[in-house]
Structures are given as C-alpha cells and as structure tokens.
Amino acid sequence: MSTLDSGDLWLFGAGVTLFGLIGGVIARDRSVQRDKNVREDKMHERVTRVREDLSRDLGELRRELNDYKLEVQREYASVGHLKEVETRLAQAIERLDSRLEAMPGQLAQELKQVFNTSD
C-alpha cells in the first residue's frame, strides 16, 4: 500500500477546495435564481392585480356610460319629436285663433236670432 505524500495531500486539498468553490457557485446561482423567481412572481401578482383592477374599473365606467346614455335618451326629447310637438301646437293655436275670430260673428248672429224671434 502506498502512503500519501505531501503532493497527494496538496492535490486532495485542491480538489476539495475546487469542489467547494463549484458547489458554492452553484448554491449562490440557485439562490440568486430563487430570489429572481420570487421577485418575478411578486411582479406578476402585482401586474395581475392591476389588470383585474383596471378591468373592473373599465367595466364600471362602461356601465355608468350606458346608464348615462339611457338617462339622456329618457329625459331629453329628440329633435324629430320636438318638431312634431311644435307642429301640433302650431296647428292647435291656429284652430283656436280661427275659433276666437269667428266667435264675435257667431255671438252676434245668435243675439240677432234671439231678438228677432222674440218680436
């Protein structure tokens, strides 16, 4: 059997040191990668929350806009409807005007009839 001399011990020590360094680099790399993954997961969670909040807010804005449009349609008359109402009012005023103009003549005729028939 052979005994270990100082050269073999140096080689063994260098191998252990090299193995330790490689293991340390691998462990550090894994730790950095794990931290990176944690940060990415947190970032994705934040992005997802922001996306959900924006989606919810956008949905609320759409509902509010639709409600407002419906309210405007209910409360405000259309131009066509206003023109139709204006036309009907103008016709009603013309009929009243004609009746009022004819009233004194009709009243005079009725008075003549009343006074002529009583003679």
| Segment holding 77, helix H or strand E | none
Positive or negative: CA dihedral 25, 29, 30, 35 = positive
Backbone angles phi, psi at 95, to 5 degrees: -65, -40
Q: Which residues, at least 6 apart from 77, have a Cβ–Cβ distance to it below 8 Å?
A: 85
Distance of CA 78 to the CA centre of its chain: 26
Percent of the chain predicted with pLDDT > 70: 94
**Joined tokens for residue 29:** 């790399």
41-68 pLDDT per residue, tens: 999 999 999 999 999 999 999 999 999 9
62-86 pLDDT per residue, tens: 999 999 999 888 777 777 888 899 9
What is the pTM assigned to this prediction?
0.44
- State residue 1's pLDDT score: 47
